[in-house]
Amino acid sequence: MELQKVDGRKARGEKKRRAIVEATLRVIEREGVAGVTHRSVAREAGVPTTAPTYYFATLDDLLIATLLWSAEELCDDMLKIVASGGSAREIARSLAQAVNENRGRTLAEYELYLLAGRRPELKPAARRWLDRAVEVVRPADPLAFRAFLAAIDGLLLQGLIADVAPNEDELEPIVSFLIRGRDDFTAAPKEE
Amino acid sequence: MELQKVDGRKARGEKKRRAIVEATLRVIEREGVAGVTHRSVAREAGVPTTAPTYYFATLDDLLIATLLWSAEELCDDMLKIVASGGSAREIARSLAQAVNENRGRTLAEYELYLLAGRRPELKPAARRWLDRAVEVVRPADPLAFRAFLAAIDGLLLQGLIADVAPNEDELEPIVSFLIRGRDDFTAAPKEE
DNA sequence: CAACTATCTGAACAAGTGTTCCACAAGTTT
DNA sequence: AAACTTGTGGAACACTTGTTCAGATAGTTG
């Protein structure tokens, strides 16, 4: 146990650091990347104005750290959609949830996409869920699967700009159509 | 011709107004919505700093005017993709162009999408091309067509965050897969 | 040419920004 | 307890932002 003695200061610091990142994500969900400033984040996190600067060299670092971190969660969410039990119903339900209850988070994800379009360093994080989906599902027909993944992004995106976000029942038949011939790519599923 | 006498001043004004909007779009393509300021737009358009404020009450108005205007062009681009001759090859070529040569413009479109997600007033403009596509193609199987449209958005978006943007040859088989059973929705095409 | 009007613009301002700096508090080690 | 490291936060800075405004300019009309 001698080596495991942790510095209480660093422990608290790391905790605060995480709190700041989480606050940043909340700001992004609520107001978009544009709303992220040292002050808005500090206010959201309940810390002094200079705290974010202390933990992150620059505002950009904070933004990138937040998006990289959120990408992990988003990856999980997306995999849950892609491999959620498998039935069209369940996939449709997950999609409906993403554009309704989790609207803010879904918007945040596409903020990440867009930023990745302009900042190469974010690209791997943005497309992580795509790579992981292929790894997990191991589709026999990669083409069909890529089309399916593309359609998911499209459905979410279009769901966000609809007058009223689509619900489970509206999405189900479309998903159903997309995974007709589902055996093509779920022939060799694989848990890891 | 008496009534048609135009005020030369107003004419020039309207021209300048358009020039400012076009400059704004260029800024968005290059740096994203975040890069749009009165000053950056003015610099791009080669007009004094206060010109944009003169023509648009607020910066937000300028941004919205630009996105609404660009939506028209984007709508045309998208329709060209959806109804480009019809072969998978041609659709794939249009898609490849969008994520390569026209990368900036495509990014701008998704900036519009994202902003529309947070500003209801932009929603109609953002999904205009979807509505128009349905009008023009008049698909017999709307479900299949909606899936196809969703996949297009997904392919473009994912093309933007790829390490190297996909080319025509990579996209063609995916598109091909998507429009197998194409007769389903192109049964009753319609020029307008 | 003079009166008028619409268009234009440079200077200026208040507000908000990222970031620096420094004194100090808290925790750890010797 | 003394020396140290790490975390903390308020004040202040240089800078950019959106917007205002008074006056200049240019086009139209009598």
pLDDT band at A190 (very low <50, low <70, confident <90, very high): very low
Q: What is the pLDDT of residue B12?
A: 83
Averaged pLDDT, B73-77: 86
Kindly report the bases of strand D lying within 7 A of a protein C-beta atom: 5-12, 16-21, 26-29
Our measurement of CA A16 to C1' D5, in angstroms, reads 18
CB atoms within 10 A of CB B7: 8
pLDDT digits (tens, 9 = 90+) for A7-41: 777 888 899 999 999 999 999 999 999 999 999 99
Averaged pLDDT, B40-60: 94
Q: What is the pLDDT of residue B181?
A: 63
Residue partners of A122: CB distance under 8 A and separation at least 6: A64, A67, A68, A112, A115, A116
- Going from N- to C-terminal start, the domains of chain B cover 1-56, 67-186
What are the two backbone dihedrals, phi and then psi, of residue A100, each rounded to the nearest 5 degrees? -120, -85
Sequence-ordered alpha helix ranges (H) in B1-102:
8-31, 38-45, 51-55, 59-82, 88-99
Residues of B in contact with A163 (CB under 8 A): 123
Does the CB of B13 fall within 7 Å of any strand D atom? no
pLDDT at B190 over 50: no
Fold held by B1-56: Arc Repressor Mutant, subunit A (1.10.10)
Residue of B nearest to A129 (CA): B158
Instruction: Find out whether A133 and A149 touch, Cβ atoms under 8 Å.
Output: yes
From the list A147, A154, A177, the residue facing B174 with the nearest CB is: A147
Fold held by A70-186: Tetracycline Repressor; domain 2 (1.10.357)
Mean of the per-residue pLDDT values for chain B? 88
What are the two backbone dihedrals, phi and then psi, of residue A102, each rounded to the nearest 5 degrees? -100, 30
d(CA A89, CA B178): 21
At the second CATH level, the architecture of B67-186 is Orthogonal Bundle (1.10)
CA atoms within 13 A on the CB side of B64: 14
CA atoms within 13 A on the CB side of A180: 12
pLDDT at B4 over 50: no
CA atoms within 13 A on the CB side of B19: 14
